Amino acid sequence: MAKTAAQRQASYRARRPHAGEDGNGERRLNLWVSTRTDLAIERLARRYCVTKREIVQRLVSAMDDRIIATLDIDAPEWDQYFTAASVTQ
Protein backbone atom coordinates (compact mmCIF):
# COMPACT_ATOMS: atom_id res chain seq x y z
CA MET A 1 0.00 0.00 0.00
CA ALA A 2 1.34 3.45 -0.90
CA LYS A 3 2.20 5.91 1.82
CA THR A 4 0.11 9.01 2.30
CA ALA A 5 1.69 12.44 1.93
CA ALA A 6 1.70 12.80 5.72
CA GLN A 7 3.49 9.45 6.12
CA ARG A 8 6.12 10.38 3.53
CA GLN A 9 6.71 13.73 5.26
CA ALA A 10 7.00 12.07 8.69
CA SER A 11 9.51 9.59 7.29
CA TYR A 12 11.54 12.40 5.68
CA ARG A 13 11.66 14.39 8.92
CA ALA A 14 12.67 11.29 10.88
CA ARG A 15 15.73 10.84 8.61
CA ARG A 16 16.96 14.44 8.93
CA PRO A 17 18.89 14.00 12.23
CA HIS A 18 21.11 11.42 10.49
CA ALA A 19 21.19 12.81 6.96
CA GLY A 20 24.04 14.46 5.13
CA GLU A 21 27.34 13.34 3.71
CA ASP A 22 28.87 12.45 7.06
CA GLY A 23 25.73 11.13 8.74
CA ASN A 24 25.98 13.97 11.26
CA GLY A 25 22.49 15.11 10.44
CA GLU A 26 20.89 18.28 9.23
CA ARG A 27 19.18 21.04 11.14
CA ARG A 28 16.33 23.24 10.10
CA LEU A 29 17.04 26.95 9.81
CA ASN A 30 14.00 29.21 9.70
CA LEU A 31 14.67 32.93 9.35
CA TRP A 32 13.74 36.10 7.57
CA VAL A 33 16.33 37.99 5.54
CA SER A 34 16.19 41.31 3.76
CA THR A 35 14.99 41.41 0.18
CA ARG A 36 18.48 42.56 -0.85
CA THR A 37 20.03 39.49 0.79
CA ASP A 38 17.53 37.11 -0.78
CA LEU A 39 18.09 38.58 -4.23
CA ALA A 40 21.87 38.32 -3.76
CA ILE A 41 21.56 34.66 -2.71
CA GLU A 42 19.40 34.03 -5.76
CA ARG A 43 21.96 35.67 -8.07
CA LEU A 44 24.85 33.73 -6.55
CA ALA A 45 22.97 30.45 -6.79
CA ARG A 46 22.12 31.10 -10.42
CA ARG A 47 25.71 32.11 -11.23
CA TYR A 48 27.18 28.94 -9.73
CA CYS A 49 24.31 26.68 -10.86
CA VAL A 50 23.51 25.50 -7.34
CA THR A 51 20.60 25.81 -4.95
CA LYS A 52 20.12 28.72 -2.59
CA ARG A 53 20.71 26.25 0.24
CA GLU A 54 24.11 25.31 -1.22
CA ILE A 55 25.13 28.98 -1.54
CA VAL A 56 24.23 29.72 2.08
CA GLN A 57 26.10 26.62 3.24
CA ARG A 58 29.19 27.57 1.21
CA LEU A 59 29.21 31.16 2.47
CA VAL A 60 28.77 30.22 6.12
CA SER A 61 31.35 27.43 5.95
CA ALA A 62 33.88 29.69 4.22
CA MET A 63 33.50 32.40 6.85
CA ASP A 64 33.73 29.87 9.68
CA ASP A 65 36.90 28.37 8.14
CA ARG A 66 38.46 31.84 7.85
CA ILE A 67 37.80 32.57 11.51
CA ILE A 68 39.05 29.18 12.73
CA ALA A 69 42.27 29.62 10.71
CA THR A 70 43.07 32.73 12.77
CA LEU A 71 42.59 31.02 16.15
CA ASP A 72 45.18 29.15 18.19
CA ILE A 73 43.69 25.92 19.54
CA ASP A 74 45.27 26.56 22.97
CA ALA A 75 44.11 30.18 23.22
CA PRO A 76 41.07 31.31 25.19
CA GLU A 77 39.61 32.74 21.96
CA TRP A 78 39.27 29.18 20.61
CA ASP A 79 37.10 28.14 23.55
CA GLN A 80 35.18 31.39 23.41
CA TYR A 81 34.41 30.93 19.71
CA PHE A 82 33.10 27.41 20.20
CA THR A 83 31.26 27.93 23.50
CA ALA A 84 29.99 31.51 23.47
CA ALA A 85 26.27 31.99 23.96
CA SER A 86 24.39 32.70 20.77
CA VAL A 87 22.73 35.99 20.06
CA THR A 88 19.03 35.86 19.21
CA GLN A 89 16.87 38.78 18.22
Mean pLDDT of 61-65: 97
Q: Chain-wide mean pLDDT for the chain?
A: 90
End-to-end CA distance of the chain, in Å?
A: 46
Share of the chain above pLDDT 90, in %: 60
Mean pLDDT of 7-28: 83
Question: What pTM, to 2 d.p., does this model score?
Answer: 0.72
Give the pLDDT confidence score for residue 89 in this predicted structure: 58
Cα 26 from Cα 53, distance rounded (Å): 12
Cα 42 from Cα 24, distance rounded (Å): 27
